[in-house]
């Protein structure tokens, strides 16, 4: 579990919502978003079960973030890092404080 302060460090305001920095581990044995916090990169960590092939891991990250926020997945998009483990995800219509609160509340564990 991450603290609201750590979550806030990984979030940047955006005119249409927020940008959240993630460091992802695709091909993990279980889905866990967020799985931790990297203080050096000021990024949330995410374990994804999908492999990094043809955008599958990116799509899984977008879907998981949308579920955490209770919003449609079209309001979440990987804005940068589509071919990297370091990603920035934009969440439309959400403020920084709400984002930090929701991410710190437990996120999305594996079913």
The three-point CA angle 43-25-42 to 5° equals 10
Span 92-104, pLDDT tens digits: 999 999 999 999 9
What is the pLDDT at residue 108? 57
Tell me which residue of 71, 51, 60, 67 sits closest to 108, measured CA to CA.
Answer: 67
Euclidean distance between the first and final Cα of the chain, in Å? 16
Residue 1 binned pLDDT confidence (cut-offs 50, 70, 90): confident
Query: What does the domain layout of the chain look like in residue ranges?
Result: 4-104
Tell me which residue of 53, 70, 49 sits closest to 61, measured CA to CA.
Answer: 49
Span 57-70, pLDDT tens digits: 999 999 999 999 99
Reply yes or no on domain 4-104 having CATH 3.40.605.10: no
What is the pLDDT at residue 107? 64
Q: Rg of the Cα trace of the chain?
A: 12
């Amino acid at each position: 579990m991450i603290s609201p302060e750590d979550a806030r460090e990984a979030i940047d305001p955006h005119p249409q919502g927020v940008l959240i920095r993630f460091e992802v581990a695709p091909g993990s044995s279980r889905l866990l978003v967020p799985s931790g916090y990297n203080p050096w990169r000021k990024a949330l960590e995410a374990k994804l079960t999908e492999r990094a092939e043809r955008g599958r891991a990116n799509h899984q990250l977008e879907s998981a973030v949308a579920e955490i926020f209770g919003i449609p997945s079209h309001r979440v998009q990987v804005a940068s890092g589509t071919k990297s483990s370091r990603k920035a995800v934009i969440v439309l219509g959400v403020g920084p404080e709400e984002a930090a609160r929701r991410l710190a509340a437990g996120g999305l564990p594996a079913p």
